Structure 1
Amino acid sequence: MMMITMVKMKEDYVNCESPDSDPGQRLNGDTSIGLKKEIGLLNGVGIIVGIIVGSGIFLTPKGVLQDAGSIGLSLIVWIVCGILATIGATCYSELGTSVPKSGGDYAYIKEAFGPLPAFLFLWVAMFIIMPAGNAIAAITFANYLLQPLYNCSPPDDAVRLIAAAAICFLTFVNCYNVKWATRTQDIFTVSKIIALIIIIITGAVHLITGKTQNLTNIWENTATDPGKIAASFYSGLFSYAGWNYLNFVTEELKDPFRNLPRAINISLPFVTIIYILANLAYFVVLTPDEILATDAIAVTFGDKTLGLFRWSMPFFVALSTFGGLNGGIFASSRLFFVGARHGHMPSFVAMVNIRYYTPVNSLIFLGLLTLLYLTTTKVYSLITYASFIESLFTTLSVAALLWLRYKQPELSRPIKVNLIWPIVFFVVCLFLVLLPTYTKPVETGIAALITLMGIPVYMITIYWQNKPTIYKNFIESVTKFIQIFFLSVAEEKSE
């Protein structure tokens, strides 16, 4: 009966209209079930800027200053992080055009080093990187939304409730319509730039009027411990996280060989300049003690400078983090989709809804994992977990670029960066992975343990081919149930 139902679903698909579909594609006979190329250059810029400028710039200046110790070193950290993110994005533009597959790091690691390392990346992305990053954005959104209603920090339960509502709503939007998701991203990207421009202009006014007393001893208390300096880079790089997310959706990008590098070259310098100016504004207006005493630096900044309009800052920041969460959900769900397509996750995760052409199963799977991270609202611990693991596998991805240069010199490379840049980026990433293991051994140890736990899971669920019949029947039954429940079928490609 289930098989008959699934056949009927495929037959009905041909006659159904998708709110996402391109009429031109239908007229040309493209009735295949799969993800469509609907992301243009401006959408790509919106995704990169929208994801990068999320919760980080309104959250981590405190973390950078806390570990760097001084204003001077903090500003250097922000500048160097922007340069590193630009170098990394340039390296990924070569990876994204020479291995033009969705999935980002997963696809590159698999191409260079095989299935086990790729699975381990998917494993930690599933349990740490993606849901933790999205949970941080949701928690920050809730904190800023609730901040004006409370004289002190909002109650944890209220934060969790608002964060959960945001996750569920944006998961629905991404399930229903790809264009809705990208338009949402474009709209909220504008709002977050407005918030940062308000901060920058306010800081510039203070500078012009001679209020520079906070900048008189910018090197005071500068950290000298290499581990602390590396930890400050963790917080800074977290604010730039997302520069590689467009690589996750390469297959949905129009003219990816052209638009991927162009989107990167527009987005990263723009974000770096905005971040440096915003941090300078923070330091001009607020003392180091004021920055270290707040978990909502933009609200404190607005309370001190904007008078009757101080309400605007938490409002715009809430919109900013909401857009960052939307971009994170959109891009990271594609990673699980691609992993399942290659057999590294249950096959139902790689299925497409027959009405909306969206990876509904993957989106809901990611949404449920993200909700689990709302059991804690301690975002700085989540940042440490996510940043350590992301640095580890970013290092492996850049190593993949170097290995492919050696192993497959004949591989088509529409973009080929100077070899010095991936080498520099690899060394820096290695530094960021190794040093914090002794300054924050508990967090990095737990993250490493979770990574290693993926090895037995891989051996049992993927490497072991002759599984018991009862196991195979159970997985098949679950897959059929989910297909019917979510009206989803395996992806098809038109010839």
Structure 2
Amino acid sequence: MTTSEKALEKNENNINLVNGSTVKLKRELGLFSAVNLILGVMIGSGIFVSPASALKHSGSVAVCLIIWIISGVISLLGALSFAELGTVLGQSGAEYAYFREAFGKMHKFWGPLPSFICAWIYVVILRPAEVAIIVMTFAAYAIQPFTSNLDADYKDLTIKLTSISALFIMTYINITSVKLFVKVQNVFGICKVFACLIVIGGGIYEMAKGNTANIEKGFEGENISAGGIALALYSGLWAYDGWNSVTVVTEEIINPGVNVPLSISIAVPLITALYVFMNVAYMSVLSFSEMTSVPAVAVVFGDRVLGPASFLIPLGVAIATFGCAMSVQFGVSRVCYSAARGGHMLEVFSFVNMKRLTPAPAVALQALLTCIFIVVGNISTLIEFASWFLWFFYGLAMVALLVLRKTQAARPRPYRVPTVVPCFVLLVSIFLSVLPIVHDPSIKYLMAIGFIVIGVAVYTLFVYYKKTPKYLLEKFTFLMQVLFQSVPSSDRQD
């Protein structure tokens, strides 16, 4: 061991207490911030840019609105089930933590595998690709007023450079402090809701003028076949994704037993109301064919209704996407942190900056992976099967909840949902996991299986048999500690 490494080890042993506080993630998110975190993840570009998929598959205005309401109810029930899991375990990481606790001790090899595969998919592939798509959408809208005369190649390069700049800013925020993230996210959350209310207000104005012809078509053209309804529901639920975001950061929520379920009970119904009324507003102005064909529904809506104030819509999309990307990065870095703490990622990614008390190495990893996806650019196909993965893991989380009720029945439960709720969500998840493969079998599901197989191979070699290059890992760990001034958290798991 070199002199510098010995000094660093000695320093680690002496800084388990910093200013009288243990070196670990701190509880910085109150109720308002928890609500804004859910708003930040759930309200992205989808409701502004392309909310028409549910309308296309349902075939009618009335059925479409029913689909949006049902999707909101399912999301609420799923979120409340996650609230029980989050409050009873008290751990960050959401599905990863739940799988580890419920299945980890069932079998030496197979027990920890579900939690590893969950972390593998979320941390290495799914969330970084999702953040890349979101931040590139932000860049496209942010530079729109300044790039109208640019050639396509230069515009694409400008979008990528703007995306990387935005990624740097949100990474700086998430590494600097949780308090800074909370302040920025609270402002962005308020702005998002305001942008939604602008659309809703424009719709009310148009309907007050008598523009109700599209809405009055009701069930005309409805498609109530099982396949049509299922695909419409799938589209609606994708727009609501992010309802579990507050359970990803349970360890940073103040009084989680109260604030986790309460924040969900406030945020998800609020977003459901916003989504339903925004769709009513769109449909009051745009015809069925326009809703299902224009590239950005809200922008066309704004051009027709808001006049000189139409710039508010692209601005709203930019705010929504930046805030969403920042919140998704915040959440997945906690999944990475939890997985590393549980021995399923490199240990250094469970280290915490000793001054700022943020999981700086985990945040930096997510920034690097996202940057790679941005440079690659065309990754839309990669996230086409995202919903399939999400609902597969959501269903497995419901199984984990039922298992923990049996295996840890005596454990205190600050919040408990009726058993019928997780059972219903499990049935929905099975339906949504099986339906796409049956209805539209394609290579993307083979890709999904391929990612899982690669994950099993990585787990077997590096986690189960622990075949790791120790010397290189020690050097890498030392480098990361020096770069990010990070040390093991005082509550790490063995």
TM-score by length of 1: 0.91
Q: CA deviation at 1:427?
A: 0.2
Answer yes or no: is 1:117 the counterpart of 2:107.
no
Q: 1:189-234 deviations in whole A, cap 9, x for unaligned?
A: 0111111000001101111221012224344444455445433333
Measure, in 1, the Cα distance between the counterparts of 2:225 and 2:364.
Answer: 43
Once structures 1 and 2 are overlaid, which stretch shifts more, 147-156 or 101-110?
A: 147-156
Supply the AA of the counterpart residue of 1:272: T
Q: Is the 8 A contact 1:234 1:384 kept in 2?
A: no
Residues 39-89 of structure 1, C-alpha deviations (whole Å, 9 max, x = no match): 111111111112111223223413323333433332222111100110011
Q: Are 1:93 and 1:415, in contact at CA under 8 Å, matched by a contact in 2?
A: yes
Rounded to whole Å, the distance in 1 between the matches of 2:189 and 2:173 is: 17
Structure 1: 5+ residue runs without aligned partners? 17-25
Looking at structure 2, the residues matched to 242 and 277 of structure 1 have their Cα atoms a distance apart, in angstroms, of 20
Q: What residue in structure 1 maps to residue 109 of structure 2?
A: none
Give the match for residue 147 of structure 1. 144
What are the Cα deviations for residues 285-324 of structure 1, in whole angstroms up to 9, with x where unaligned?
Answer: 1122222333222211111111111111111221121111
**Could you say which residue in structure 2 is the equivalent of 1:22?**
none
Counterpart of 2:93 in 1: which secondary structure? coil
Would you say 1:299 and 2:299 are equivalent positions?
yes
Is the 8 Å Cα contact of residues 238 and 383 (structure 1) preserved in structure 2? no
8 Å contact from structure 1 (residues 81, 240) kept in 2: yes
Aligned to 1:455: 456
Aligned to 1:435, what secondary structure does the other structure show?
helix
Structure 1 range deviating more: 133-142 or 485-494: 485-494
Question: Does the alignment pair 1:409 with 2:436?
Answer: no
**What is the CA-CA distance between 1:348 and the residue it aligns to?**
0.9
CA distance in 1 between counterparts of 2:380 and 2:475 reads 41
Equivalences for 1:83-232 in 2 at 5 Å? Answer: 83-114=73-104, 115-149=112-146, 155-223=155-223, 226-232=226-232
- Are 1:72 and 2:69 an aligned pair? no
Contact 1:50/1:189 (<8 A) preserved? yes
Question: Are the aligned partners of 1:235 and 1:383 in contact in 2 as well (CA < 8 Å)?
Answer: no
Q: Secondary structure at the match of 1:213?
A: coil
Query: Residues 83 and 386 (structure 1 numbering): CA distance in 2 closer, same or farther, change over 3 Å?
Result: same
Whether 2:423 is the aligned partner of 1:423: answer: yes
Structure 1 residues 458 and 322: alpha-carbon distance in aligned structure 2, compared to 1, 3 A threshold: same
Shift in Å, 1:98: 1.2
Residue equivalent to 1:19: none
Q: Which residue of 2 aligns with 1:20?
A: none
Cα distance in structure 2, aligned partners of 1:122 and 1:14: 27
SS in 2 for 1:352: strand
C-alpha change, 1:432 and 1:461, in structure 2 (3 Å) is same
**How far apart, in 1, do the equivalents of 2:47 and 2:41 lie?**
11
Paired letter, 1:191: C
Residues 304-358 of structure 1: CA deviation (Å, up to 9, x unaligned): 1111111111112211211111211112111100100011000111111122111
Verify the 8 A CA contact 1:341 1:350 in the aligned structure 2: yes
Secondary structure (helix, strand or coil) at the match of 1:418 reads coil
Greater shift in the superposed pair: 70-79 or 1-10: 1-10
Distance in 1, matches of 2:461 and 2:391, equals 27
The amino acid across from 1:244 in the alignment is N
Residue 487 (1) aligns with residue 469 (2): no
Q: Equivalent residue of 2:144, what SS?
A: helix
Change (3 A) 1:436 1:15: closer
Deviates more, 1:212-221 or 1:311-320: 212-221
Task: Assess, with a 3 A threshold, how the Cα gap between structure 1 residues 433 and 131 changes in structure 2: closer, same or farther.
Answer: same
Distance of aligned partners of 1:199 and 1:382 in 2 relative to their CA distance in 1, 3 Å threshold: farther
Amino acid at match of 1:7: E
User: Which amino acid is the alignment partner of residue 235 of structure 1?
Assistant: S
- Whether the 8 Å CA contact 1:9–1:487 is kept in 2: the answer is no
Q: What is the aligned partner in structure 2 of residue 259 from structure 1?
A: 259
- What's the offset of the Cα at 1:440? 5.1
| Structure 2: gaps spanning 5 or more residues | 105-111
Residue aligned with 2:23, SS: coil
Q: Deviations over 1:129-167 (max 9, x none)?
A: 311222232122122223344669974333222222211
- Is it true that 1:310 corresponds to 2:300 in the alignment? no
CA gap of 1:252–1:97, structure 2 versus 1, over 3 A, is: same
Contact 1:132 1:386 in 2 (8 A): no
Distance 1:79 1:414, change over 3 A: same
**Alpha-carbon distance, 1:359 to partner:** 0.7
Q: Write out aligned runs for 1:11-90 (5 A).
A: 26=19, 29-30=20-21, 32-90=22-80
Q: What RMSD, in angstroms, separates the aligned Cα atoms of the two structures?
A: 2.3
Match of 1:367 in 2: 367
What does residue 23 of structure 1 align with? none
Please give the TM-score of this superposition, normalised by the length of structure 2. Answer: 0.91
Q: How far, CA to CA, are the matches of 1:69 and 1:187 in structure 2? A: 37
Tell me how far 1:387 sits from its aligned partner.
1.3
Which digits, 9 at most, give the CA deviation of each residue in 1:105-141, with x for residues without a partner?
1011111122111001001102333112222321221
Shift, 1:4, TM fit = 2.5
* Alignment CA distance shift 1:152-1:65 (3 Å): farther
Counterpart in the other structure of 1:4: 6
Instruction: Count the aligned residue pairs.
Output: 479
Which residues of 2 match residues 255-404 of structure 1 at below 5 A? 255-375=255-375, 381-404=381-404
Which AA in structure 1 matches 2:339? G
CA 225–375 in structure 1, closer or farther in 2 if over 3 Å, else same: farther
Query: Counterparts of 2:149 and 2:43 in 1: how far apart (Å)?
Result: 26
Query: 1:158/1:297 Cα in 2 relative to 1: closer, same or farther (>3 Å)?
Result: farther
Find the aligned partners of 2:284 and 2:196 in 1 and give their Cα distance: 15
The residue type equivalent to 1:402 in the other structure is L
- The secondary structure found in structure 2 opposite 1:35 is coil
What amino acid does structure 2 have at the position aligned with 1:109?
Answer: F
Q: Please tell me whether the aligned partners of residues 2 and 480 of structure 1 are also in contact (alpha carbons under 8 angstroms).
A: no
